[in-house]
Structure 1
Amino acid sequence: MSNGICQSLWSPVRRLVKLKRVRHISTSLVHNETILVKNNNEFVTKVMNNDKPVIVNFHADWCEPCKILTPKLKEMIEPLNNLDLAVVDVEDNAELVHAFEVKAVPAVIAIRNGLIVDKFIGLVDTDMITNLIDRMSGNKKEGS
Protein backbone atom coordinates (compact mmCIF):
# COMPACT_ATOMS: atom_id res chain seq x y z
CA MET A 1 0.00 0.00 0.00
CA SER A 2 2.78 2.45 0.81
CA ASN A 3 4.31 1.66 -2.58
CA GLY A 4 1.07 2.84 -4.27
CA ILE A 5 1.14 6.07 -2.23
CA CYS A 6 4.74 6.75 -3.21
CA GLN A 7 3.96 6.17 -6.89
CA SER A 8 0.93 8.47 -6.72
CA LEU A 9 3.02 11.19 -5.05
CA TRP A 10 5.90 10.87 -7.51
CA SER A 11 3.75 10.71 -10.62
CA PRO A 12 2.98 14.48 -10.74
CA VAL A 13 6.64 15.23 -10.01
CA ARG A 14 7.75 13.05 -12.93
CA ARG A 15 5.23 14.77 -15.20
CA LEU A 16 6.47 18.20 -14.05
CA VAL A 17 10.09 17.23 -14.66
CA LYS A 18 9.20 15.92 -18.12
CA LEU A 19 7.27 19.10 -18.91
CA LYS A 20 10.16 21.29 -17.81
CA ARG A 21 12.59 19.32 -19.95
CA VAL A 22 10.36 19.52 -22.99
CA ARG A 23 9.66 23.21 -22.44
CA HIS A 24 13.36 23.97 -22.01
CA ILE A 25 14.35 22.06 -25.14
CA SER A 26 11.56 23.48 -27.28
CA THR A 27 12.23 27.12 -26.34
CA SER A 28 15.95 26.80 -26.90
CA LEU A 29 15.35 25.38 -30.36
CA VAL A 30 12.81 28.03 -31.31
CA HIS A 31 14.65 31.22 -30.32
CA ASN A 32 17.36 32.79 -28.25
CA GLU A 33 16.59 34.94 -25.28
CA THR A 34 17.65 38.55 -25.35
CA ILE A 35 20.46 39.25 -22.88
CA LEU A 36 19.43 42.16 -20.66
CA VAL A 37 22.77 43.43 -19.38
CA LYS A 38 22.58 44.64 -15.78
CA ASN A 39 26.26 45.28 -14.99
CA ASN A 40 29.85 45.09 -16.25
CA ASN A 41 30.50 41.55 -15.03
CA GLU A 42 27.40 40.29 -16.81
CA PHE A 43 28.51 42.10 -19.98
CA VAL A 44 31.92 40.44 -19.88
CA THR A 45 30.46 37.00 -19.17
CA LYS A 46 27.50 37.02 -21.54
CA VAL A 47 28.75 39.26 -24.35
CA MET A 48 32.54 39.46 -24.51
CA ASN A 49 33.05 35.78 -23.62
CA ASN A 50 30.11 34.49 -25.69
CA ASP A 51 30.91 31.73 -28.18
CA LYS A 52 28.42 33.27 -30.59
CA PRO A 53 28.57 36.74 -32.13
CA VAL A 54 26.52 39.31 -30.22
CA ILE A 55 24.78 42.45 -31.41
CA VAL A 56 24.69 44.93 -28.53
CA ASN A 57 21.95 47.55 -28.47
CA PHE A 58 22.67 50.55 -26.22
CA HIS A 59 19.30 52.18 -25.60
CA ALA A 60 17.30 54.37 -23.22
CA ASP A 61 13.64 54.23 -22.22
CA TRP A 62 13.19 57.93 -23.07
CA CYS A 63 14.66 57.53 -26.58
CA GLU A 64 11.95 57.49 -29.27
CA PRO A 65 14.14 55.88 -32.00
CA CYS A 66 15.13 53.21 -29.44
CA LYS A 67 11.46 52.32 -29.02
CA ILE A 68 11.42 51.44 -32.72
CA LEU A 69 14.86 49.83 -33.06
CA THR A 70 14.92 47.59 -29.98
CA PRO A 71 11.76 45.60 -30.85
CA LYS A 72 12.93 45.36 -34.48
CA LEU A 73 16.28 43.91 -33.42
CA LYS A 74 14.55 41.43 -31.09
CA GLU A 75 12.20 40.35 -33.87
CA MET A 76 15.05 39.80 -36.31
CA ILE A 77 17.65 38.21 -33.99
CA GLU A 78 15.71 36.08 -31.49
CA PRO A 79 14.75 33.38 -34.06
CA LEU A 80 18.43 32.86 -34.95
CA ASN A 81 20.41 30.20 -33.11
CA ASN A 82 23.86 31.46 -34.12
CA LEU A 83 23.61 35.09 -32.99
CA ASP A 84 22.65 36.75 -29.70
CA LEU A 85 21.22 40.16 -28.88
CA ALA A 86 22.26 42.06 -25.77
CA VAL A 87 20.39 45.14 -24.60
CA VAL A 88 22.19 47.72 -22.45
CA ASP A 89 20.21 50.50 -20.78
CA VAL A 90 22.51 53.54 -20.86
CA GLU A 91 20.93 54.98 -17.71
CA ASP A 92 21.91 51.90 -15.66
CA ASN A 93 25.33 51.18 -17.18
CA ALA A 94 27.40 54.37 -17.21
CA GLU A 95 30.70 52.48 -17.14
CA LEU A 96 29.81 50.51 -20.28
CA VAL A 97 28.63 53.69 -22.00
CA HIS A 98 31.99 55.29 -21.20
CA ALA A 99 34.04 52.21 -22.15
CA PHE A 100 32.34 51.90 -25.56
CA GLU A 101 32.26 55.68 -26.11
CA VAL A 102 28.51 55.78 -26.67
CA LYS A 103 27.71 59.41 -27.46
CA ALA A 104 24.12 58.96 -28.73
CA VAL A 105 21.37 56.36 -28.62
CA PRO A 106 20.45 54.07 -30.11
CA ALA A 107 23.98 52.80 -30.61
CA VAL A 108 24.54 49.29 -31.90
CA ILE A 109 27.84 47.43 -31.82
CA ALA A 110 28.57 43.99 -33.19
CA ILE A 111 30.98 41.83 -31.20
CA ARG A 112 32.62 38.61 -32.32
CA ASN A 113 35.21 36.78 -30.20
CA GLY A 114 35.35 39.72 -27.80
CA LEU A 115 36.16 42.26 -30.51
CA ILE A 116 34.04 45.03 -32.01
CA VAL A 117 33.63 44.23 -35.70
CA ASP A 118 30.93 46.73 -36.71
CA LYS A 119 28.71 49.49 -35.35
CA PHE A 120 26.09 52.06 -36.19
CA ILE A 121 24.39 54.94 -34.41
CA GLY A 122 20.79 56.03 -34.76
CA LEU A 123 17.76 54.57 -36.42
CA VAL A 124 18.87 52.98 -39.69
CA ASP A 125 16.91 51.33 -42.47
CA THR A 126 15.95 47.66 -42.31
CA ASP A 127 18.41 46.73 -45.11
CA MET A 128 21.36 47.94 -43.03
CA ILE A 129 20.17 45.94 -40.03
CA THR A 130 19.58 42.86 -42.19
CA ASN A 131 23.08 43.13 -43.71
CA LEU A 132 24.67 43.39 -40.27
CA ILE A 133 22.69 40.41 -38.97
CA ASP A 134 23.56 38.37 -42.07
CA ARG A 135 27.27 39.13 -41.73
CA MET A 136 27.30 38.41 -38.01
CA SER A 137 25.28 35.19 -38.26
CA GLY A 138 27.43 33.87 -41.11
CA ASN A 139 24.75 34.15 -43.79
CA LYS A 140 26.99 36.45 -45.88
CA LYS A 141 30.73 36.91 -46.10
CA GLU A 142 32.34 39.90 -44.35
CA GLY A 143 33.21 41.69 -47.60
CA SER A 144 29.83 41.34 -49.34
Structure 2
Amino acid sequence: MSSPVRHAQVIDAPLSLDRLLDLVRTDAVGGIALFVGVVRDHDEGQDVVSLDYSQHPTAEQRLRACAERVAAGHDVQTVAVEHRVGHLTVGDLAVVVAVGAVHRAEALACCRQLIDDLKAEVPIWKEQQFTSGEAQWVGLG
Protein backbone atom coordinates (compact mmCIF):
# COMPACT_ATOMS: atom_id res chain seq x y z
CA MET A 1 0.00 0.00 0.00
CA SER A 2 1.29 3.45 -0.83
CA SER A 3 1.82 6.16 1.75
CA PRO A 4 -1.08 8.45 2.61
CA VAL A 5 1.40 11.36 2.80
CA ARG A 6 0.78 13.29 -0.40
CA HIS A 7 2.86 16.33 0.48
CA ALA A 8 5.27 17.44 3.22
CA GLN A 9 7.19 20.59 2.45
CA VAL A 10 8.95 23.55 4.02
CA ILE A 11 8.53 26.59 1.77
CA ASP A 12 9.45 30.25 1.68
CA ALA A 13 6.27 31.38 -0.09
CA PRO A 14 2.74 31.99 1.17
CA LEU A 15 0.82 28.85 2.14
CA SER A 16 -2.43 27.91 0.40
CA LEU A 17 -5.33 26.21 2.17
CA ASP A 18 -6.91 25.37 -1.20
CA ARG A 19 -3.74 23.63 -2.41
CA LEU A 20 -3.55 21.40 0.66
CA LEU A 21 -7.29 20.69 0.69
CA ASP A 22 -7.08 19.61 -2.95
CA LEU A 23 -4.21 17.26 -2.07
CA VAL A 24 -6.24 15.40 0.57
CA ARG A 25 -9.60 15.18 -1.22
CA THR A 26 -10.51 11.78 -2.68
CA ASP A 27 -13.73 9.91 -3.28
CA ALA A 28 -13.00 7.76 -0.20
CA VAL A 29 -12.51 10.74 2.14
CA GLY A 30 -15.58 11.61 4.20
CA GLY A 31 -13.91 13.99 6.66
CA ILE A 32 -11.02 16.43 6.40
CA ALA A 33 -9.33 17.85 9.48
CA LEU A 34 -7.45 21.07 9.03
CA PHE A 35 -5.07 22.92 11.33
CA VAL A 36 -3.90 26.39 10.37
CA GLY A 37 -1.21 28.11 12.41
CA VAL A 38 -1.39 31.89 12.05
CA VAL A 39 1.05 34.58 13.22
CA ARG A 40 -0.68 36.30 16.14
CA ASP A 41 -0.11 39.84 17.39
CA HIS A 42 1.09 38.93 20.90
CA ASP A 43 3.13 36.42 22.87
CA GLU A 44 4.05 36.24 26.54
CA GLY A 45 2.47 39.63 27.25
CA GLN A 46 4.30 41.45 24.46
CA ASP A 47 3.00 42.82 21.17
CA VAL A 48 4.43 40.94 18.17
CA VAL A 49 5.24 42.74 14.91
CA SER A 50 6.62 39.84 12.88
CA LEU A 51 8.32 36.45 12.94
CA ASP A 52 11.30 35.12 11.06
CA TYR A 53 11.31 31.33 10.66
CA SER A 54 14.61 29.53 10.07
CA GLN A 55 15.15 25.88 9.28
CA HIS A 56 17.88 23.30 9.64
CA PRO A 57 18.88 21.72 6.29
CA THR A 58 17.16 18.48 7.40
CA ALA A 59 13.84 20.17 8.29
CA GLU A 60 11.90 19.04 5.23
CA GLN A 61 13.21 15.47 5.49
CA ARG A 62 12.27 15.40 9.18
CA LEU A 63 8.84 16.87 8.40
CA ARG A 64 8.16 14.08 5.91
CA ALA A 65 9.40 11.41 8.33
CA CYS A 66 7.18 12.83 11.07
CA ALA A 67 4.15 12.90 8.74
CA GLU A 68 4.81 9.32 7.59
CA ARG A 69 5.14 8.04 11.17
CA VAL A 70 2.02 9.83 12.43
CA ALA A 71 -0.06 8.81 9.41
CA ALA A 72 0.96 5.17 9.86
CA GLY A 73 -0.49 5.25 13.37
CA HIS A 74 -3.95 6.36 12.23
CA ASP A 75 -6.58 5.05 9.84
CA VAL A 76 -6.31 7.93 7.36
CA GLN A 77 -6.47 8.17 3.58
CA THR A 78 -4.42 11.31 2.87
CA VAL A 79 -2.07 13.76 4.59
CA ALA A 80 -0.57 17.05 3.43
CA VAL A 81 1.52 19.46 5.51
CA GLU A 82 3.45 22.65 4.83
CA HIS A 83 5.48 24.89 7.10
CA ARG A 84 6.57 28.34 6.07
CA VAL A 85 10.03 29.81 6.57
CA GLY A 86 11.24 33.37 6.09
CA HIS A 87 9.72 36.66 7.20
CA LEU A 88 6.05 36.58 8.24
CA THR A 89 3.84 39.32 9.59
CA VAL A 90 0.74 39.20 11.80
CA GLY A 91 -2.02 37.26 10.07
CA ASP A 92 0.27 35.25 7.78
CA LEU A 93 -0.13 31.47 7.68
CA ALA A 94 2.83 29.70 9.31
CA VAL A 95 1.80 26.04 9.08
CA VAL A 96 -1.03 24.05 7.52
CA VAL A 97 -1.88 20.41 8.25
CA ALA A 98 -4.64 18.69 6.28
CA VAL A 99 -5.74 15.11 6.89
CA GLY A 100 -8.39 13.16 5.02
CA ALA A 101 -10.04 10.03 6.42
CA VAL A 102 -13.19 8.01 5.92
CA HIS A 103 -14.53 9.43 9.20
CA ARG A 104 -13.83 12.67 11.07
CA ALA A 105 -12.54 11.12 14.31
CA GLU A 106 -9.52 9.57 12.63
CA ALA A 107 -8.81 12.73 10.63
CA LEU A 108 -9.00 14.93 13.72
CA ALA A 109 -6.81 12.64 15.85
CA CYS A 110 -4.11 12.40 13.18
CA CYS A 111 -4.18 16.14 12.51
CA ARG A 112 -3.75 16.94 16.19
CA GLN A 113 -0.90 14.49 16.65
CA LEU A 114 0.87 15.68 13.52
CA ILE A 115 0.88 19.36 14.50
CA ASP A 116 1.99 18.49 18.05
CA ASP A 117 4.75 16.14 16.87
CA LEU A 118 6.07 18.41 14.14
CA LYS A 119 6.33 21.30 16.61
CA ALA A 120 8.42 19.04 18.89
CA GLU A 121 10.52 17.23 16.26
CA VAL A 122 11.05 19.32 13.14
CA PRO A 123 14.02 21.73 13.39
CA ILE A 124 12.28 25.00 12.53
CA TRP A 125 12.83 27.98 14.81
CA LYS A 126 11.26 31.39 15.01
CA GLU A 127 12.58 34.77 16.03
CA GLN A 128 9.78 37.02 17.24
CA GLN A 129 10.09 40.76 16.75
CA PHE A 130 8.22 42.82 19.34
CA THR A 131 6.91 46.39 19.09
CA SER A 132 9.35 47.26 21.89
CA GLY A 133 12.23 46.58 19.47
CA GLU A 134 13.27 43.46 21.37
CA ALA A 135 13.48 40.03 19.76
CA GLN A 136 13.13 36.52 21.15
CA TRP A 137 14.05 33.13 19.69
CA VAL A 138 11.52 30.33 20.18
CA GLY A 139 12.14 26.65 19.64
CA LEU A 140 15.88 26.56 20.20
CA GLY A 141 17.33 23.93 22.48
Range class of TM-score, shorter chain: 0.3 to 0.5
- What TM-score do you get using the length of structure 1 for normalisation? 0.32
Bigger RCO (CA 8 Å, 6+ sep):
2
Kindly indicate which of the two structures has a greater share of residues assigned to helix. 1
Larger Rg: 1
